[in-house]
Amino acid sequence: MNIESIPKFFAPKGMHISDSGRATASEQLTVTDVMAALGMTQAEAGIGLSMFLGKAGISEHDRKASVSWLAEYAKSKAPRSIRKAAGKKFPLCMLIIARFAYNDYASSAADSVDCRKCSGSGFIKKTSMVEKSHYKMRLPQWAKDLGQSPSDFEVKRQVEEIDHVLCFKCGGTGKISKRCQCGGTGKTLDRKESELQGVPVYKVCKRCEGRGYSRPKSSNAYRGMLSE
């Protein structure tokens, strides 16, 4: 059994009542067999199973445990120069690096992140100066005697208005897809080879290197450590 097929055992299933007999073949796995296999995997490679369950979105506890384990592993492998440079913030720096490492592992082309332009709200504030005016409808008697109208007493002023418009970067969704320009396939059309052979020829996408999504930049982790 592949580990990629275990998430379905964590999803609730409806009861199926049928008069047909269940499969009794010796190679047929039951839920008990799967749970026993998961228990053995947890005993032998617990951190690997926790990382996969966290990636599949099954367990939030496993995701946090994986980040903590990665942080401890980073502490044990960090050279002395980094320990000395980080000082008291060394554990926090290793935790930030562990979070970025786990997010890189758990990312896929179907994932999305909050839009930085609108902070995930889908709207951005747009300020504009608007000219407004007001005047009195009841004129004093001396103004009436002079034949003046209410428009002669108009007062104009500049007012700043704030409008909420759709974010142009995310289109109002508040999310930015991690999918590469290749559509998440990791492959792009090789136009030169396609013209030579007369059939579509695909090559590995140079932007994502075949992953289908963009990886987090190391500069983001660096800025995250400096901001703490």
Contacts of 138 by beta carbon, 8 Å cutoff, 6+ apart: none
Model pLDDT for residues 50-87, shown as the tens digit of each residue: 888 888 878 788 888 889 998 998 888 888 888 888 88
**Residue 25 predicted with pLDDT over 60:** no
**Residue 215 predicted with pLDDT over 80:** no
Contacts of 87 by beta carbon, 8 Å cutoff, 6+ apart: none
Tell me the pLDDT band of 173, cut-offs 50, 70 and 90.
Answer: confident
Check residue 15 and give its pLDDT. 58
| CA end-to-end span of the chain | 44
Check residue 45 and give its pLDDT. 81
Name the average pLDDT for the chain. 81
**Residue 181 predicted with pLDDT over 80:** yes
Check residue 115 and give its pLDDT. 87
Tell me the pLDDT band of 14, cut-offs 50, 70 and 90.
Answer: low
Angle, helix 46-55 to helix 31-44, in steps of 10 degrees? 120
Give one DSSP letter per residue of 141-178, joined into a string. Answer: HHHHHTT--GGGG-EEEEEEEEEEEE-TTTTTSSEEE-
Model pLDDT for residues 120-161, shown as the tens digit of each residue: 888 888 888 888 877 766 777 777 777 777 767 777 888 888
Check residue 112 and give its pLDDT. 82
Tell me the pLDDT band of 13, cut-offs 50, 70 and 90.
Answer: low
Average pLDDT over every residue of 185-208: 89
Average pLDDT over every residue of 204-217: 82
Check residue 18 and give its pLDDT. 63
Tell me the pLDDT band of 119, cut-offs 50, 70 and 90.
Answer: confident
